Amino acid sequence: MSDIDLQPLVDEDSERLMAGKKREEPRPRPPASPATLHRRLFVGGTDDSSSMQDLFGDNGDEWENPENRCGCGCCHPDCCQCCASPKLFAVIWAIVCVLINTTIGYRVGILATLEKTFDMESKYTGIMYGGHDAGYLIMVLLVSYYGGKKGSHRPKWIAYGTMLIGISCVIFALPYFFMPRHVINETEQEVVCTPGKAQNTTDVENCKQSHSLNLFWYIMLTVATFMMGIGGAPALPLGTTYIDDHVTKESSPLYIGLALVLPNTGNALGLLFSSFVLRYYVDFLFISPSKIGIDSSDDQWIGAWWLGFLPLAAAFFFFSLPLCLFPKKMKKPHEVGLKETSRILPSLAERQYLADKGLFTTLGCLFSNSVYVLILLGIFVISAVTNGFSMYIPKYLEIQFSLTKANASALIGIVVLPATLLGTLSSGVLMRLCKVSGRNSIQLLAWLFLVVAMAIIPGMFLYCEPVPIAGIMTEYGATASQSGRQPLPHANLQAECNKDCVCPRQFTPVCGPDKIMYFNQCFAGCKDSLNTKYKDVMLYTDCSCISPGKMKVKDEHYTGSVATNDCNSLGQCNKFIFLMIVLLVVAFVSFFAFTPIITAVLRVVNKDESTLATGMIQFAIKAVGVAAPFLFGMAMDFTCIYFSRYCDAKGACLVYDIDWNRYLMLGVVTLGTLLGSILLFCAYIIHRSYRED
C-alpha cells in the first residue's frame, strides 16, 4: 500500500484527535427490566452505569446482587424492594434501641425483688448487673472492627444481637417456672407462740439443696445479663454508620439525633413497666393474694418480676426479623455523591490516616493532651457515682420512705421520662442557638455538675421516720417515743416476754398499739389469731410483748394486747415528693450534659484523633459500669443492721440503718460529682491558654 493510500486515514484520525473524542454510532438502549423500573420509581437514582459508578464506585450490576436487595435467603422479590429505605430502617433501629434501654430500666426496677426472691446481698446483684457492661465492652470492639469492614452485613449483625437479647430475656424468666412456688399458706399467717411447743424448723439438707439451687439460678441470671450486653453492642455503632452511609448530609444528623434521643426514654419506660408487673403477685397464676390476706404493701409480697421479660423477649424476636431482611447496601441519593466532607462520621481519609498513624501513637497523643485527660477523668468519676447509684435508686426510696417496690419504680420512671426528653432536646437547641465553643462547653459542663452536687446535698435531710423494731432498733417494752433511729449494739429478737416461744426467722412484721414493729407475730408473743372483715389485715391477740392499748384497724377499734400485720400506715410521710424534685433536677442536668461533652471532646483534640477520643469516653463510661454497681451494692450492705439467715449464711438485708444509708449513698454521689466538676474546671483553666479554633 502506497503513502497516498494511507493519507486519508491519517487525516481522518487527526480530525478525531482535534475534536477530542471519537465519533461513535448511537446504540439502541435495551428495554428496562422490572427491577430497573422499580428502582426508578421507588428507590431513585439513575440507570446510567457511569453515573452509578461515579456515585457508588461500583458497577450498576451490584444492585442485582441478592445481598443488596431486600429479602432473605433466595427470596428477594421486586415488590419488597421499596422497603430498602433508610427511613424504615431508622424507625425499626430506634425501636430496638428503645427496647434495649427498656430492658435495662426494667432490671433496675426489679432489683430489690430479685434480692428478696433469691435471698442475696446487694453486692451480688451488683455483680450480676455489672455483667451487662462487661459483655458490652468485650463485644463492642470486635463488632466495631469486623462489622465495619467492607462487605459486612450490618443490619444482620444488629438483628443477631437483638435475637440474643430476646434469648437472654427468656433465660431471665426461666427460674420462675422451675423454682418452688411462693404461695403463702393460710396457716403461715397463723403461726403464733405456743409455750412449751417448738415450731417446725427447716430441714438442714433441704436448706442446703435450696441454697445450691438459688446459686445455680444466680449464675444463670448473671450469664443472661452478660449476654444482654453482648447482644446490645452492635446496635449503636453499626446502626449509626449504616444510616449515615445511606442518607444525605443534611438528613443524617436528624436521623441519628432522633434515634439517639428516643432510646434514652427506654430506661424510664422500663421502670414504669416494672412498676406495673410488680403489682401482680409472683404466683398470681396459681393463687389470688386476697385469699391469703396480703397485698402489694405487705412485707411478704413478692411481685411478678419474671412477667415483664416475656413480652420484651417477644418484641426483640419480632423486630429482629425485619432487620434481617434489609440489604447490605442501599442506594444513596444521587445528589449527595461520595464526598467524604459530607459525612458527619469520620471520613475515609481520616480513618486511613488514623490507621497509618497507629493506635498506640494516637493514644499517646491523646493522653499527652492534658485538657482531654482532665475531661476524661472528670466524666469517668461522675459516671462512676451516678451510674452506680442509679441502679439502687428504687431501693433507696423503699428504705428511706417506706415505699413499696412498685411505687418506688413508678416514681423514678415518672421523673426520668420528662427529664430525658427535655434535657437532651434542650441541650442540642441551646448549643446550636448560642454557638457554644469548645472551651465554653467545658466551662458549662463544670458548672452543670457543680449544680448537681449542690442539688444532692438537701436530699441528705429528706427521709421518713422509720418504725422501730423490737430487739433490733429498740428494747422490748420501750415505747415509740423512747426509741430512736439508731440500732441496738447487739440485735436480739429473744426477750423475757417471748422466751418460751421458738419462732421462725421469717420476716413478717406486725405492729401493736405501742407503735413498735415486731419481727413477726411469734416474737411479739402473740398466742392467738383473729380474722377481720378486711381480707388484707390479720389480727393477733394475747401478745405478751405488747402492752394493752387501743388499736385502730381501718374503721374499727380493738382493745387489749393486739397486733396487726398492717404496719405501713405507721411510717408513711410525703417527704419523698421533695426528693423527687431533687432527682428531677439531677436527671435533667445529666441528660443536658450529653451534647456539651461531645462538643468539648471534639474541640480539644486533633481532627484525626476525634473518633478515638469520643470512643475512649464511651469506653470509660461502660468500663466504670462494670464495677460501680458492685461497689454501691457493698455500700448498701454496709448500712444493713440485720440480714436474713439462709443456711447459716447471710441472705438479703431485712433492716437498714437509714441514717448511715442516706449519708453514705448520697455522700459518695455528692463527693464524686464535686470531684468531677473540679477536674472540668481545671481543664477549662488550662484550655484558656490555648487558641480556640
**Of residues 286 and 579, which shows the higher confidence score?**
579
- At 12 the pLDDT is 45
The residue behind cell 469520620 is 346
Helix (H) or strand (E) holding 511: strand 510-511
Phi, psi of 521 (to 5 degrees): -65, -25
Give the mean model confidence (pLDDT) for residues 8-33.
46
Nearest C-alpha neighbor of 373 from the set 472, 454, 442? 442
Which of 21-30, 130-139, 140-149, 684-693 has the highest average model confidence (pLDDT)?
130-139
Instruction: Enter the DSSP assignment of 41.
Output: I
Give me the chain's average pLDDT, please.
77
Please, are residues 356 and 665 in contact by the beta-carbon 8 Å criterion?
A: no
How does pLDDT run across 597-656, given as a tens digit for each residue? 877 887 787 766 766 777 788 788 888 888 899 999 999 999 998 888 766 667 888 889
What is the pLDDT at residue 638?
Answer: 92
Q: Which pLDDT score, from 0 to 100, does residue 228 have?
A: 94
**The three cell numbers locating residue 403:** 415505699
User: Which string of DSSP letters, residue by residue, matches 584-619?
Assistant: HHHHHHHHHTHHHHHHHHHHHS-GGGHHHHHHHHHH
Q: What is the pLDDT of residue 47?
A: 40
Q: Which triple of cell numbers denotes residue 475?
A: 428494747
Q: What is the pLDDT of residue 170?
A: 95
pLDDT at 51: 37
Q: What is the DSSP string of 123-175?
A: HHHHHHHHHHHHHHHHHHHHHHHHTTSTT--HHHHHHHHHHHHHHHHHHHHHH
Rounded distance, CA 85 to CA 545, Å?
73
- Lowest-confidence range among 119-133, 260-274, 320-334, 464-478? 320-334
Among 112-116, 339-343, 518-522, the range scoring the smallest mean pLDDT is 339-343
Distances, alpha carbon 13 to alpha carbons 6, 9, 25, 284, 371, in Å? 11, 6, 16, 93, 67
Contact 480, 506 (CB under 8 A): no
Of the candidates 318, 104, 147, 118, the residue with the CA atom closest to the CA atom of residue 214 = 118
Rounded Cα gap, residues 665 and 631, in angstroms: 11
Q: Higher model confidence: residue 504 or residue 355? A: 504
Euclidean distance between CA atoms 564 and 521, whole angstroms: 8
> Which range in 172-176, 292-296, 598-602 is most confidently predicted, on average pLDDT?
172-176
Residue 15 grid cell = 480530525
Measured CA to CA in angstroms, residue 262 lies from 267, 415, 668 at distances of 10, 16, 30
Q: Look at residue 209 and tell me whether its pLDDT is greater than 70.
A: no
Q: Which residue has the higher pLDDT, 406 or 149?
A: 406
pTM assigned to the model:
0.79
pLDDT tens figures, 552-572: 777 777 777 777 776 766 656
Q: How many CA atoms within 13 Å lie on the side-chain side of 597?
A: 27
**Rounded CA separation 139/143 (Å):** 6
Task: Report, as an integer, the average pLDDT of 379-392.
Answer: 90
Q: What pLDDT, on the 0 to 100 scale, is given for residue 43?
A: 36
Average pLDDT over residues 272-299: 82
The model's pLDDT over 175-184, given as tens digits with 9 standing for 90+, comes to 998 887 765 6
Q: Work out the average pLDDT over 462-482.
A: 81
Q: Is the pLDDT of residue 333 over 50?
A: yes
